[in-house]
Chain A
Amino acid sequence: MARRTAAQPVSAPRDLLPPDISAKVRAALHANRDRPGALLPVLHAVQDSVGYVPDDAVPLIAYELNLSRAEVHGVISFYHHFRTHPPGRHVVRICRAEACQSLGARALEAHAKKTLGIGFHETTSDGAITLEAVYCLGNCGCGPSVLVDPDTLHARMTPEAFDALVGELREVAK
């Protein structure tokens, strides 16, 4: 295998991303590439603007940051936060941790899976809701806690309130 040196530069990978997504990935790289330890900030920026980190973005990110594709893939798959497929219109995160368990989170989790008909990391068939598990939202005094989309936190969530919340989210186009 030829090593990558200044004399033998590796050519840029073929860009298989749709043009709009490619532009977003490139913007995320451009804004963060020169920061020390740039990979996490880049991945956050990609997921924030695209909604997920497309598999086809990996060669581009690896090339720009002078990493191997395996390294980039390894980081994406290590962290629970990053996803490689588009989520539903809303992401609902249910806290599974102990403080919320003490106030009924186990029952809430079971209720949510049953009524939505999906498990964690899955999206409802109408594309409205992606259900995720989260391990503590720091709202441990008023659980069970649920986080909707980036920053809408709900306290003291009951199965009934969950149904009402899901109903509202289905109404609201993102």
Chain B
Amino acid sequence: MSTRICVPRDATALALGADATARAIESEARRRGIDITLVRNGSRGMFWLEPLVEIDAPAGRIGYGPIKAADVPALFDAGFERGNVHGLRLGPVEAIPFFEKQERLTFARVGVIDPVSVEDYRAHGGFRGLENALAMSGEDIVKAVTDSGLRGRGGAAFPAGIKWKTVLGTDSPQKYVVCNADEGDSGTFSDRMLMEGDPLCLVEGMTIAGLAVGATQGYIYLRSEYPHAFRALGEAIANAYAAGWLGPGINGTSRRFDLEVRLGAGAYICGEETSLLDSLEGKRGQVRFKPPLPAIKGLFGQPTVINNVITLASVPIILDRGAEYYRDYGTGRSRGTLPLQLAGNLKHTGLVEKAFGVTLRELLYEYGGGSYSGRPIRAVQVGGPLGAYLPESQFDTIVDYEAFAAIGAMLGHGGIVAFDDTVDMLEQARYAMEFCAIESCGKCTPCRIGSTRGVEVIDRIRAGFEREKNIVLLKDLFETMRYGSLCAMGGLTPDPVRSALEYFPEDFEVRA
């Protein structure tokens, strides 16, 4: 029997040489006359082990990693295709502590299956949620999502069921489901991993959303910086159409749902939902005034469900296992699991899907293994470029929406970026303002002009020019941006700056 060997097609694995590894395995197997089936899976999210090669053995999946192309002949010499011992053998992949301690619901199939194979997806529980949804009324689907406690995973954490209910209750001949796949926050890659590792899960979630609210057309708005996700989505959608899971007559019923991927063009602001809708309409990605809400007047003026990738990809399991199953994970008002992303200066970076309730310290040290550089971790930015910088004294904060809000921070999309003690916090604060100046859509003045003034004020503080007065001015600017901006871009840009100033004031002293 042919041995199934998995080499990830995930972008990070590719950046670490996975294509060369895959080619070496194929040619070496051919040379030795060994019958193998090469599968290009997603990543398990343990990047220090990538390229992580897995042997699909009868007893389970045996991992080897990191495997460079040059390691491949020696692996075959050792008989790795039979799971034999080798210096790079990791043993059963799911017993690796980083992985074993996780609770993978949304990411259950990522790294396990061939991402674009409908058969593989079905064999691992795929489309069961959609099959249930096809037999339910829109109201019942919305109720299940509401009861699960699922909140938007893009950053704003708005209850998904309430959004869907509004769209369901708004009459219109044409409604839309839009997936926000403009994952622009630095330190986040869970959307990308899901789209590269289990794109059919997103297809299924969006189709269920369409059934729930009565929408027949879906768009995935994908950032142009994700070429590998674009390819995986394209293959998965084509295969779903061919197998009758998209298009007219979903799985032999009379229901219809069409799905298309649209590329962004390098604009961070298009992750803001109303900018995204304008961009999808072929316009400059500028923020809209709310109301009207997109749920009432969204894409092309029609009622629109717009959710993040992880939100929509969490829907199939809710419809498959039931709302209670999902809600039983988590704490307080933060229900279910959250895929956290460990990034930046950490030894063990990657994806950790856990029920809400783990502390930042556990993530940084138990999962992350401390800093990559070996130096002390000095600051952590959670929630992307608009998130606060946190010092060591805050590391015992529980990772959930409410606990983060209580310390003036936000969980956002779950990205955690660690910095060691070489970081210059004034530079980080300046960059936050600079980034806002580069990426502002320009519609409102506090964001467009305030960010540029912010850079200038920080430069004057650094130069020691009327330092005290300029710090007062900077704090005043925080208020203007926070309360005067149209959206979260200008409104939250002060957060990283204020937290840097508050927790790391020594970096804002006059320099010699």
For B188, B265, B341, B431, which residue has the most chain A Cβ atoms within 10 angstroms? Answer: B265
- Do B15 and A145 touch (CB < 8 A)? yes
How far is it, in angstroms, between the C-alpha of A38 and the C-alpha of B280 when the chains are bound? 9
Digitize A42-84: 1 where CB-to-B-CB distance is under 8 Å, 0 elsewhere.
Answer: 0110000000000000000000010000010011001111100
CB proximity to A under 8 Å, residues B246-294: 262-268, 279-285
Digitize B279-311: 1 where CB-to-A-CB distance is under 8 Å, 0 elsewhere.
Answer: 111111100000000000000100000000000
CB proximity to B under 8 Å, residues A126-171: 134-143, 145, 147, 150-151, 153-156
* A interface SS class: loop
Query: Which B residues are in CB contact (< 8 Å) with A101?
Result: 419, 428, 431
Given A137-B225, A139-B189, A98 and B428 contact (CB-CB distance below 8 Å)? yes
Q: From A40, A106, A141, give the contact of B343 (CB < 8 A).
A: A141
Query: Which B residues are in CB contact (< 8 Å) with A139?
Result: 11-12, 15, 189
- Do A134 and B225 touch (CB < 8 A)? yes
A41: Cβ under 8 A from any B Cβ: yes
Digitize A103-135: 1 where CB-to-B-CB distance is under 8 Å, 0 elsewhere.
Answer: 100100000000000000000000000000011
How far is it, in angstroms, between the C-alpha of A156 and the C-alpha of B224 when the chains are bound? 21
Report the interface size class on chain B: 35 or more
B198: Cβ under 8 A from any A Cβ: no
- Do B14 and A141 touch (CB < 8 A)? no
- Do A78 and B285 touch (CB < 8 A)? yes
A39: Cβ under 8 A from any B Cβ: yes
Given A75-B284, A100-B186, A102-B423, A135 and B417 contact (CB-CB distance below 8 Å)? no
CB proximity to A under 8 Å, residues B408-447: 415, 417-420, 423, 427-428, 431, 435, 438-439
Digitize A84-109: 1 where CB-to-B-CB distance is under 8 Å, 0 elsewhere.
Answer: 00000000000001111111001000
- Do B284 and A102 touch (CB < 8 A)? no
How far is it, in angstroms, between the C-alpha of A38 and the C-alpha of B265 when the chains are bound? 14
A19: Cβ under 8 A from any B Cβ: no
- Do A150 and B227 touch (CB < 8 A)? yes
How far is it, in angstroms, between the C-alpha of A138 and the C-alpha of B381 when the chains are bound? 16
B385: Cβ under 8 A from any A Cβ: yes
Q: From A78, A140, A143, A145, give the contact of B415 (CB < 8 A).
A: A140
B109 to chain A, nearest CB (A): 19
Query: Which B residues are in CB contact (< 8 Å) with A141?
Result: 12, 47, 189, 341-343, 346, 349-350
How far is it, in angstroms, between the C-alpha of A98 and the C-alpha of B425 when the chains are bound? 12
Closest B residue to A72 by CB, please name it: B282
A130 to chain B, nearest CB (A): 14
Given A79-B285, A138-B226, A151-B227, A37 and B265 contact (CB-CB distance below 8 Å)? no
How far is it, in angstroms, between the C-alpha of A156 and the C-alpha of B184 when the chains are bound? 20
Query: Which A residues are in CB contact (< 8 Å) with B415?
Result: 99, 140
- Do B266 and A134 touch (CB < 8 A)? yes
Given A102-B419, A154-B15, A79 and B267 contact (CB-CB distance below 8 Å)? yes
For A43, A140, A155, which residue has the most chain B Cβ atoms within 10 angstroms? Answer: A140
- Do B186 and A97 touch (CB < 8 A)? yes
A36: Cβ under 8 A from any B Cβ: yes
B345: Cβ under 8 A from any A Cβ: yes
- Do A81 and B265 touch (CB < 8 A)? yes
- Do A80 and B15 touch (CB < 8 A)? no
How far is it, in angstroms, between the C-alpha of A5 and the C-alpha of B110 when the chains are bound? 54
Q: From B14, B265, B341, B428, give the contact of A40 (CB < 8 A).
A: B265
- Do A37 and B280 touch (CB < 8 A)? yes
How far is it, in angstroms, between the C-alpha of A40 and the C-alpha of B282 when the chains are bound? 5
- Do B14 and A153 touch (CB < 8 A)? yes
- Do A102 and B285 touch (CB < 8 A)? no
B353: Cβ under 8 A from any A Cβ: no
- Do B263 and A44 touch (CB < 8 A)? yes
Query: Which B residues are in CB contact (< 8 Å) with A79?
Result: 264-267, 285
A161 to chain B, nearest CB (A): 12
CB proximity to A under 8 Å, residues B1-33: 11-12, 14-16
- Do A98 and B47 touch (CB < 8 A)? no
- Do B300 and A36 touch (CB < 8 A)? yes
A137 to chain B, nearest CB (A): 5
- Do B186 and A99 touch (CB < 8 A)? yes
- Do B420 and A102 touch (CB < 8 A)? yes
How far is it, in angstroms, between the C-alpha of A59 and the C-alpha of B14 when the chains are bound? 40
- Do A80 and B265 touch (CB < 8 A)? yes
Digitize B322-337: 1 where CB-to-A-CB distance is under 8 Å, 0 elsewhere.
Answer: 0000000000000000
B198 to chain A, nearest CB (A): 16
B192: Cβ under 8 A from any A Cβ: yes
B21 to chain A, nearest CB (A): 14
B228: Cβ under 8 A from any A Cβ: yes
B221 to chain A, nearest CB (A): 10
A95 to chain B, nearest CB (A): 8
Query: Which B residues are in CB contact (< 8 Å) with A156?
Result: 16
B372: Cβ under 8 A from any A Cβ: yes
- Do A41 and B189 touch (CB < 8 A)? no
- Do B228 and A151 touch (CB < 8 A)? yes
How far is it, in angstroms, between the C-alpha of A137 and the C-alpha of B11 when the chains are bound? 9
Query: Which A residues are in CB contact (< 8 Å) with B495?
Result: none
Closest A residue to B372 by CB, please name it: A103
Query: Which A residues are in CB contact (< 8 Å) with B186?
Result: 97-100, 135-136, 140
Q: From A43, A138, A145, give the contact of B188 (CB < 8 A).
A: A138
Binding site for B on A (CB under 8 A): 36-41, 43-44, 65, 71, 74-75, 78-82, 97-103, 106, 134-143, 145, 147, 150-151, 153-156
Which 10 residue pairs spanning A and B have beta carbons closest together? A141-B349, A97-B186, A39-B282, A79-B265, A140-B343, A80-B266, A102-B344, A81-B266, A155-B15, A81-B265
Q: A102-B423, A138-B189 are in contact. List 5 more A-B contacts (CB 8 A).
A: A75-B282, A82-B265, A103-B345, A136-B184, A140-B344
Task: List 16 A-B pairs, Cβ < 8 Å.
Answer: A37-B280, A44-B263, A65-B282, A71-B283, A79-B265, A99-B186, A99-B415, A103-B344, A140-B188, A140-B189, A141-B189, A141-B341, A141-B343, A141-B349, A142-B12, A142-B50
